[in-house]
Amino acid sequence: MPWVIEAIGLAKTYGDKLAVDGLTFTVRPGVVTGFLGPNGSGKSTTMRLILGLDAPSAGDVKVNGKHYREHTAPLHEVGALLEARSVHTGRSAAAHLLALAQTHGIGKRRVDDLIDLVGLHEVARKRAGQFSLGMGQRLGIATALLGDPSTLLLDEPVNGLDPEGIHWIRNLLKSLAAEGRTVFVSSHLMSEMALTADHLIVIGRGRLIADESVDEVVRRASGGAVRVRSPEAALLRNLLIEQHATVVSSEPGLLEVRGVTAEQIGKAAFAHGIPLYELTAQQASLEEAFMELTQEDVEFRTAEAAPVEEGAAA
Amino acid sequence: MSTLTSKVAVPRLEQQGHLTQLHVARSEWTKLYSLRSSRWSLFTAVVLTIGLPLLFAAVTSSRWGTMSPGERARRDPLEIALAGVNLSQLAIAVLGVLVVTGEYSTGMIRASFTAVPRRLPVLWAKAGVFALVTFVLAVPSVVIAFFASQAILARHDILQVSFSSPGVARSVLGGAVYLTLVGVFALAVGAIIRNTAGGISAFAALFFVIPPLLLLLPSSWHDAISPYLPSEAGRAVFSLTHGAGTLAPGPGLAVFVAYTVLATAVAAVLLVRRDT
């Protein structure tokens, strides 16, 4: 059976606020799938819908072919780290993990193994309320791995971790995916996703913006622009416009060309004996790609937020 | 955590587990005893159940000589023996509310419902484990309270009743039954309200505020309604004497059980329906 998360037309409204708006996507095993969107775009809500913590207003989401609650051993199917803390502050890390493990008849040895794995050995008997944000995240990771699940659902896992911890999480996610598991990890940080994810699902205001590989997102956002530097820029410009390219020039001798490939430009220049000093296919950084993808969304939200602020001040 | 090796090896789980009601009960037992607040609440309940009767027995026997015959006649040895139940029910009820609301206020409920996504096994396990723990602690507490208070009163040879006299054992053990049901009732209230302050307030209003307020009603109304309040029906379970204004132990128990079942049923329906 394929290990996948499948959402079809998933929607959730809270009162009259639309948090998730008709999301359809599939998360596949064996790769790290990044779930990207600005804060408040519906990532955490989607995670809760997958786990059945909230009921969808419309649509459906299944994990490994079933609704999450229909699995006979849910902790073996999905391990989850939710963004909001999900630990009783008065209980020790060890007791917290043991209580959750016991729901599936999993013993204390598994709990000890995971405490060692995430490096909480020394504070395992301390009450979780005294934990730092980073320690809390580590406990959350241990909780997610408790049932050795085929699918991992991690909401902003690097939040509050030190550089060492972040590095460890990246390796963990890649290792889990390499073992063939489904790894679905949300973040509002594009740079983080660039380092860990293979595939991206991008949302804004609860709607799907992109569902493609990291490379594709970058390529699409850069719009296939090519930077050309030449002493005979004006001549080249006319040549390229004849080939239906769009050409923009921001400084003398420099062209930004869209609509033709670097290869076509090179050939055209060669055919007419035009020397080229530079010919670069532009790669937008993932950060720029993300900004471009979610731009509309962010602009809309800023405009909308203004009256609310006025109302609060009055 | 090692940053030197790039591969992180997650240990594999050797034996697959599975979700059962019994496993969830085991989990709830771990949750209950691993919190300092629950250990303190239970300890307080035991101390109050035993301690208060000792205090009242000591005061009664030392002041016996100065009491008028009428006052002496109003002293009831079982009321003394079970005086602690009136107070310890508050400790049990607060803990009952907290068993559920503590999970909501800390976010633990999300972890619990991720492990047990059908949710109802969590409610049954919480109610079952808490009822069992309360009952197991309450039975010896009320029995000790009875015999210890009787021993103190025996020094002046006053207010002596035999455990085997009609209704005495039933009243004493009824005190433990009452505490257990109060705990489950409060737990259900907590599951319905999902907020600690709200849950405790609702319980206190039902058990401590509304009953005296009813005295403001015309007495025929009061007499018709009052016996059927959860607190008064519950009290009938551990009272030795039953006047016109109270239910007999059997019907009292039936009414109180019905309230508890109703509250739990409402909690169950809401638990399944609501978002977390």
Q: Is the pLDDT of residue A310 over 50?
A: no
ipTM above 0.90, yes or no: yes
- Residues 16-55 on B with a CB inside 8 Å of A are 16-20, 23-24, 26-28, 30-31, 34-37
Residue type, A81: L
Tell me if B35 is assigned to some domain.
yes
pLDDT at residue B2, as a whole number? 41
B276 near B112, Cβ under 8 Å? Answer: no
Mean pLDDT, all residues of chain B: 94
Using alpha carbons, list the distances in angstroms from residue A209 to A36, A199, B148: 10, 13, 74
Q: Is the pLDDT of residue A220 over 90?
A: no
Q: How far is B11 from chain A (nearest CA, A)?
A: 7
Q: Which chain B residues are within 8 Å of A78, Cβ to Cβ?
A: 114
Span A257-299, pLDDT tens digits: 888 888 889 999 999 999 999 998 877 666 777 777 777 665 4
Tell me if B13 is assigned to some domain.
no
Mean pLDDT, all residues of chain A: 88
Tell me if B8 is assigned to some domain.
no
Angle, alpha carbons B264-B267-B271 (nearest 5°): 140
Least confident of A266-270, A278-282, A306-310, B248-252: A306-310
Contact check, Cβ <8 Å, B1/A118: yes
Rounded Cα gap, residues A26 and A5, in angstroms: 6
Q: Which of A62-71, A212-221, A301-310 has maximum average pLDDT?
A: A62-71
Whole-model pTM? 0.87
Contact check, Cβ <8 Å, B19/A118: no
pLDDT at residue B34, as a whole number? 97
pLDDT at residue A304, as a whole number? 44
Kindly identify which residue of chain B lies nearest to residue A129, measuring between CA atoms: B106
Q: How far is A27 from chain B (nearest CA, A)?
A: 19
Using alpha carbons, list the distances in angstroms from residue A212 to A6, A27, A61, A193, A227: 15, 11, 19, 13, 25
Q: Is the pLDDT of residue A301 over 60?
A: no
Contact status of B59 with chain A (Cβ, < 8 Å): no
Span B199-215, pLDDT tens digits: 999 999 999 999 999 99
Angle, alpha carbons A180-A183-A188 (nearest 5°): 155
Tell me if B2 is assigned to some domain.
no
Using alpha carbons, list the distances in angstroms from residue A115 to A119, B47, B117: 6, 37, 24
pLDDT at residue A189, as a whole number? 81
A60 near A7, Cβ under 8 Å? Answer: yes
Contact status of B4 with chain A (Cβ, < 8 Å): no
Contact check, Cβ <8 Å, A91/B35: yes
Q: Which range of residues forms the domain containing residue B217?
A: 21-273
CA dihedral (A198, A165, A191, A45) positive or negative: positive
Nearest to B24 among A78, A96, A103 (CB): A103
pLDDT at residue B15, as a whole number? 85
Q: Give the homologous superfamily in CATH for domain A5-213.
A: P-loop containing nucleotide triphosphate hydrolases (3.40.50.300)
pLDDT at residue A221, as a whole number? 65
Least confident of A91-95, A97-101, B163-167: B163-167
Tell me if B161 is assigned to some domain.
yes
Q: Which chain A residues are within 8 Å of B41, Cβ to Cβ?
A: none
Tell me if B111 is assigned to some domain.
yes
Contact check, Cβ <8 Å, B3/A74: no
Q: How far is A166 from chain B (nearest CA, A)?
A: 10
A interface mutation test: which of B30, B33, B114 has the most A CBs within 10 A? Answer: B114
Q: Is the pLDDT of residue A303 over 50?
A: no
Tell me if B41 is assigned to some domain.
yes
Q: How far is B264 from chain A (nearest CA, A)?
A: 21
- Residues 70-99 on B with a CB inside 8 Å of A are none
Contact check, Cβ <8 Å, B111/A86: yes
**Count of the separate structural domains present in chain B:** 1
Instruction: Name residue A81's beta-bridge partners.
Output: A154
Give the mean model confidence (pLDDT) for residues A185-195: 85
Q: List the CATH code of the domain at A224-281.
A: 3.30.70.250
Q: Which chain B residues are within 8 Å of A13, Cβ to Cβ?
A: none
Span B58-79, pLDDT tens digits: 999 999 999 999 999 999 999 9
Nearest to B18 by CA among B26, B8, B10: B26
Kindly identify which residue of chain B lies nearest to residue A54, measuring between CA atoms: B275
Cβ-proximal residues to A130 (8 Å cutoff; 6+ apart), any chain: none
Tell me the pLDDT band of A306, cut-offs 50, 70 and 90: very low
B264 near B127, Cβ under 8 Å? Answer: yes
Q: How many CB pairs lie under 8 A apart between chains A and B?
A: 151
Residue type, A73: A
Considering chain A, what percentage of its residues have pLDDT values greater than 70? 89
Give the mean model confidence (pLDDT) for residues B261-273: 98
A307 near A231, Cβ under 8 Å? Answer: no
A interface mutation test: which of B2, B12, B13, B39 has the most A CBs within 10 A? Answer: B13
Domains of chain A by residue range: 5-213, 224-281
Contact check, Cβ <8 Å, A52/B117: yes
